[in-house]
Amino acid sequence: MELDAYLEKLASDAPTPGGGSAATIVAALGASLVAMVARITHKNPSFAAKNAEAAAIAERADALRFELLAARIDDEAAYARVVDAQALPRTTTEEKAARTTALQAALAGAAEAPLRAAELAVRVVRMSRDAGALGNTHLVSDVTCAAAFGRAALEASAANVRINHAYMRDASLIASQEGLLRALEAEAIES
For the chain, domain boundaries = 16-190
Rounded distance, CA 43 to CA 35, Å?
Answer: 12
Element (H, E) at 182: helix 171-190
CA-CA-CA-CA torsion sign (178, 105, 110, 60): positive
**30 alpha-carbon distance from chain centroid:** 11
* pLDDT score recorded for residue 59: 98
Question: In 11-166, where does DSSP find H-type helix?
Answer: 19-43, 51-86, 93-132, 140-165
Rounded distance, CA 154 to CA 116, Å?
Answer: 10
CA angle 38, 44, 50 (to 5 degrees): 60
* pLDDT score recorded for residue 1: 56
Neighbours of 133 (CB within 10 A): 12
Neighbours of 130 (CB within 10 A): 18
* pLDDT score recorded for residue 43: 96
* pLDDT score recorded for residue 121: 98
| 8 Å CB contact between 125 and 188 | yes
For 7-43, the pLDDT digits (tens) are: 999 999 999 999 999 999 999 999 999 999 999 999 9
Task: Say whether 15 sits in a helix, a strand or coil.
Answer: coil
Task: Give the pTM.
Answer: 0.94
Neighbours of 126 (CB within 10 A): 17
Rounded to a whole number of angstroms, the CA Rg of the chain reads 19
For the domain covering 16-190, report its CATH number.
Answer: 1.20.120.680
Rounded distance, CA 151 to CA 1, Å?
Answer: 24
Low-confidence ranges of the chain (pLDDT < 50): none
* pLDDT score recorded for residue 190: 79
CA angle 188, 149, 14 (to 5 degrees): 115
